[in-house]
Amino acid sequence: MTDHGAGVTGGATVRSRVLCVEAPGKIALAEEELPEVPEGGFRVATAYSGISTGTELTYVKGTNPYLAASWDRALGLFRPGAPAVRYPVRGIGYMQVGRVVEARTAAVREGALVAMAYGHRTGYVADPLTDRFVELPAGLDPVLGVYVAHMGPICANGLLHAAADLHGPAVRDLGDGVRGRRVAVVGAGVVGLLTASFALAHGAAEVVVADETPARLRIAEALGARALGAGALATEEDPAVELKRRWRHGPDDRGADVVFQCRGQARALALALRMLRPQGTVVDLAFYTGGADEVRLGEEFHHNGLSLRCAQIGRVPRGLAHAWDRERLSYETIALLGQRGAVLREHLVTEVADFAEAPGLLADLAARRRHAVQAVLRCDVEDEGG
């Protein structure tokens, strides 16, 4: 008997469909047999699976660094030679919402909706020793639940780094780095728009979002930010000039208090540095696969005494791990979705497709034949309201 994650018992074979990148540009759905649920574990049937058009498409395009090198965790270096990941690549993705259909633990109830990060597959058996999950509260739109386990914490961690830049280990609130400050966000993809939403929710005096795509700038405005055209959309030769004319702190002191750089392009990082006030900080959440040749470290970076901090979900700022972990960042995400969920659902999630359409959808996104801010795959699980 075959079951694509919907939940069967009595010793029947349970299979899951899983997204597989067989080679650059070649994507298919495969089947895998799920293991039995271990003592202390549970099985979920996927309800929704969000697509990251940044990280995931690097496997479709063949540009992910793990395809050409291995990561030496002890040294903190990429080492050339044997790649850490080879094709076929199965189960990419980190934005899943599943319904618990079988549980051998008291930690989660059967029927609960949980946010996890286990890749694009229709079913999954959670290992109690390695898998984390966050139970979604009643009333939260399960489509937005795709942000709770990983994507939301990525963005919240950006704000945490901004707070640590000001207060060191004395950070008490996620808004400590943006409250009452002028904030710029470069890039109006999911990361940029969620980060802007966090900043707005935590009391930023003003939030400007810069991007090159008119439709994405309209979404930024709908979320409550001010839009600033970059590249071909700039109203001036350099959009940093427009920003610095608007934001004056004092003589020879203009620009953003903090810039969140959320687009993996060298020109975006270069623009982020130009937007900063002297001695300001760029908090970088982007993933650069093509290098950063356009970044000019001998110009504004040097003359204005700027700082560049990389904020990735693998670690919180030094000295804050005792109080801020991924669980707390997930619950900060739930709080944001509770406050601003309706507008995020209306404007950020631009496409919901059936899971069977995943190969064609990812291929189209990678080739730019289709465009989506947030695309979500819908699985054959009937939502019963969480």
**Residue 65 domain boundaries:** 15-147+349-378
Asked if residue 221 and residue 84 are part of one domain, the reply reads no
pLDDT at 129 (0 to 100)? 82
Q: How far apart are CA 197 and CA 211, in angstroms?
A: 16
Report if residue 180 sits inside a domain.
Answer: yes
Model confidence at 45, pLDDT cuts 50, 70, 90, reads very high
Cα-Cα-Cα-Cα dihedral sign, residues 118, 197, 368, 143: positive
pLDDT at 2 over 60: no
Q: How far apart are CA 243 and CA 274, in angstroms?
A: 10
pLDDT digits 0-9 by tens, 267-313: 999 999 999 999 999 999 998 887 788 888 888 888 899 999 999 88
pLDDT at 310 (0 to 100)? 92
Asked if residue 164 and residue 83 are part of one domain, the reply reads no
The token pair at 87 is 């094709």
Structural domains in the chain (count): 2
CA 193 vs. chain centroid, Å, equals: 10
Asked if residue 217 and residue 353 are part of one domain, the reply reads no
Comparing C-alpha atoms, which of 263, 255, 299 is closest to residue 281? 255
More confident residue, 198 or 3: 198
pLDDT digits 0-9 by tens, 195-224: 999 999 999 999 999 999 999 999 999 999
SS3 assignment, position 127: coil
228: domain CATH number is 3.40.50.720
| pTM to 2 decimal places | 0.91
SS3 assignment, position 187: coil
Q: How far apart are CA 193 and CA 174, in angstroms?
A: 17
Asked if residue 285 and residue 269 are part of one domain, the reply reads yes
Asked if residue 97 and residue 235 are part of one domain, the reply reads no
101: domain CATH number is 3.90.180.10
pLDDT at 196 (0 to 100)? 98
SS3 assignment, position 365: helix
Contact 367, 35 (CB under 8 A): no
